Structure 1
Amino acid sequence: MTALVPRQPDAAPAVYDAATLAVLAAMEEAADRHLDAIRPHNTKRGYANDWALWEEFHDWLAERTGHRMPSTAATRGNLVGFVVWLDTIKLAAPNSIDRRITGVTVTARGLGVEVPKAATVAARQALKPLKNDPERMARGRGKAAAVTPEQLRQMNAAVADGLTGLRDRALWLMAFGIAGRSAEVAALRTDAIVHVSNGLDVHVPAVKGRPPRDVVVAYGKNADTCPVRAWLTWRAAAGITAGPAFLPIDTWGHMGNRALSAEACREIIARNAERAGVTVRLTGHSMRAGFITTSRKAGKREEKIRAQSGHAENSPAFWGYIREADKWTDAASEDIGL
């Protein structure tokens, strides 16, 4: 029988001389470099994306509170708020949210931030009921629905009155007209949208490492869905001649002077589509997808469409949109004697 040995009191912390401390510090740095080197590239890229979303969440909070908290504030309240934001604003799938929590936590600790265990526990407690919701679990399993001209007219018929409505209509029609990503729409500058006889010359700035491009947006035949008329009406009503193209407007109709965020642009599109009773869920990317498929169905050439959207020649996403648009053009099952 093994003899029971009383537990010895904890030893006092070791005290090292300066030379030992220097070697230990060097070993710590070497360990960090080694662990970073062996971490898979996809994991590091995923963590970078997680942190970018964490930064976007803090930008979103700042728009609503008037104060930008440091991104290193990985507290219980912030992490739970991040989960709720990803669920209700980004409409992320619960498994994606779970990975985001890990990515943010690992990155924060890598920056020397102490992330309390209670914070990550609370975040996953907030996540637990979301994983029991089949509809939420099904999120992210399909690409964004491509908006149609009919749905744009439906949105126009239900747009809010006043300055906010003018901005919202100009925003979603501009997003459609330039085949723009939400981040590109948010980055547009008023003085880079030039009115010419045929419509608009628009400079789409570089965002997230993507190259800038210059596109033209022609007058539409339908005044309700014409991006040019919508932009000119909003610009005149807002009295803007320079600076961000699209600005926040509060409940009382007061206009801010900072550009809307990409997330705010997405929210505006989704909110207006829901108000209009559009039967599919439209997102910021729906305008981009909708332009490509609509333009293709109208017989526009591939290189012209790509120049507008900024897709690379070999982009799988672009060719997926083209295949969708061409699906019923000279269908293999059409006129074959059935």
Structure 2
Amino acid sequence: MTDLAPYQTSAAPAAYDPAALAVLAAMEQAAEEHLDAIRPENTKRGYANDWALWAEFHDWLAERTGHQLPLTAVTKGTLVGFVVWLDTVKLAAPNSIDRRITGVTVTARAHGAEVPKAATVAARQALKPLKADPERLARGRGKAAAVTPEQLRQMHAAAPASLAGLRDRALWLLAFGIAGRSAEVAALRADGIKHVSRGLDVHVPAVKGRPPRDVVVAYGRHPDTCPVRAWSTWKAAAGITAGPAFRAISVHGAMGNDALAPAACREIIARSAERAGLSVRLTGHSMRAGFITTSRQAGRREEKIRAQSGHAANSPVFWGYIQEADRWSDAASEDIGL
């Protein structure tokens, strides 16, 4: 019986010729287009949101490292960092983080980036203990807590006596005063905030396709919660007259020239609330919700509040805040002879 020997070739396989490479490239392109065409629209929207968060994470990272990484740099380090950022800064629920990992991976590959398997494996290893935490699993169940003036005073009392502390106070009070989204607060410019006799005339720039608006912020009765005084104090201490209204400050107290990212604004609000020992978790949206609720409870008209917040007339979110504020106003069970 003849011994079977492994088949051996005398030469390595020939490389693809240019024509074959062109066909293969065309097939790759056709495959991507076909997969994109059959992908549900809600999945596409989800992936777009995931990629926007990925970009926001990179902006946050650049503020701390001084170097902007390309979005296609999906590595073990950046993907695990993304998981930690979503958990600690965005306070995202674990299942939401899991979906974000998938969205970023798919989108990065669509942009031609190589995503090592080790990166996704490491990211999900970092996510695993988060999925076992009941408090984290409860995240995302319900709307943001609406901050109250009393809580704002507690945050003021706990803020550090430093340039960063002055910035933080001005940031959250102006966010409250304009009923602003974090992206809007980040986009504010010093030259768009005019001091007038009765307070501030503020130009809120257009962000994410939403139209710009001009609002007024009146002097507050209490110095600790007055957005006008807080802004004036920060502006004078920082020496800014134009450019971004709120800027990064290093641990050594040096102020940069670039605007804070929306994520940094949210982080400042959440960190300030924790420092004050508040019993509720505040997010960037808490200032917006708090303004609408507080203004309504003070008897302000819906159209005036909407003009300040920029909500559409038929916004269910806006009317939800109004209903919450009105719960105890002329309550059906009040003073009915019980």
* Worse overlay, 287-296 or 49-58: 49-58
Q: Within the alignment, does 1:292 sit opposite 2:296 as a pair?
A: no
- Three-state SS of the structure 2 residue aligned to 1:337 is coil
Deviates more, 1:15-24 or 1:268-277: 15-24
SS at match of 2:247: coil
Q: Equivalents in 1 of 2:49, 2:8: separation in Å?
A: 46
Closer, same or farther: CA 6–312 of 1 in aligned 2, 3 Å: farther
- Tell me the equivalent position of 1:303: 303
Secondary structure of the residue aligned to 2:195 is: strand
Aligned runs of 1:220-235 on 2, under 5 Å? 220-235=220-235
Task: Tell me the CA shift for residue 105 of structure 1.
Answer: 0.4
Counting only pairs closer than 5 Å after superposition, residues 257-272 of structure 1 correspond to structure 2 as: 257-272=257-272
Tell me whether 1:247 sits opposite 2:247 in the alignment: yes
In structure 2, distance between residues paired with 1:201 and 1:300 = 19
Residue by residue over 1:10-52, the C-alpha shift from the partner in whole angstroms, topping out at 9 and shown as x without a partner, is 9976866555544443333222212111111110111011111
Equivalent-residue separation in structure 1 for 2:281 and 2:119 (angstroms) = 33
**Alignment gaps of 5+ in structure 1:** none
For residues 227 and 216 of structure 1, what CA distance do their matches in structure 2 show?
A: 11
Aligned to 2:47: 47
Residue in structure 1 matched with residue 278 of structure 2 by the alignment: 278
> CA offset at residue 256 of structure 1?
1.1
| 1:117 to partner: Cα distance | 0.7
What is the aligned partner in structure 1 of residue 179 from structure 2?
179
> Secondary structure of 1:73's match?
coil
The whole-number CA distance in structure 2 between the counterparts of 1:71 and 1:157 is 39
- Partner residue of 2:67? 67
> Structure 2: how far apart are the matches of 1:17 and 1:99?
40
Aligned residue for 1:78?
Answer: 78
* Letter matched to residue 259 of structure 1: A
In the other structure, the counterpart of 1:27 is 27
Structure 1 pair 9–122 and aligned structure 2 pair: CA distance change class (3 A): farther
Distance 2:143 2:101 in 1: 24
Are the structure 2 counterparts of residues 326 and 117 from structure 1 closer, same or farther at C-alpha, using a change threshold of 3 Å?
Answer: same
Aligned to 1:95: 95
User: Hey, what's the Cα distance between the residues in 1 that align with 2:47 and 2:18?
Assistant: 36
The whole-number CA distance in structure 2 between the counterparts of 1:249 and 1:76 is: 29
- SS in structure 1 of the partner of residue 258 of structure 2: coil
Counterpart in 1 of 2:205?
Answer: 205
Q: What code does the residue aligned with 2:39 have?
A: R
Closer, same or farther: CA 6–155 of 1 in aligned 2, 3 Å: farther
Residues 119, 232 of structure 1: CA spacing in aligned structure 2 closer, same or farther, 3 A cutoff? Answer: same
Partners of 2:105 and 2:85 in 1: how far apart? 17
Structure 1 runs of 4+ with >6 Å offset: 5-12
TM-fit CA distance, 1:335: 2.2
Separation (CA, whole Å) in 1 of partners of 2:180 and 2:255: 24
With over 3 angstroms needed to count, the CA separation of the structure-2 counterparts of 1:13 and 1:207, relative to structure 1, is: farther
CA deviation map 1:282-305 (0-9, x unaligned): 111100000000000011111110
SS in 1 for 2:141: coil
Deviation (angstroms), 1:8 = 7.4
**Alpha-carbon distance between aligned partners in 1 of 2:147 and 2:58, rounded to the nearest angstrom:** 30
SS in 1 for 2:255: coil
Cα separation, 2, equivalents of 1:12 and 1:27: 25
TM-score of the aligned structures, taking structure 2 as reference length = 0.94
Cα distance in 2 for residues equivalent to 1:89 and 1:79: 15
The letter for the 2-side match of 1:41 is E
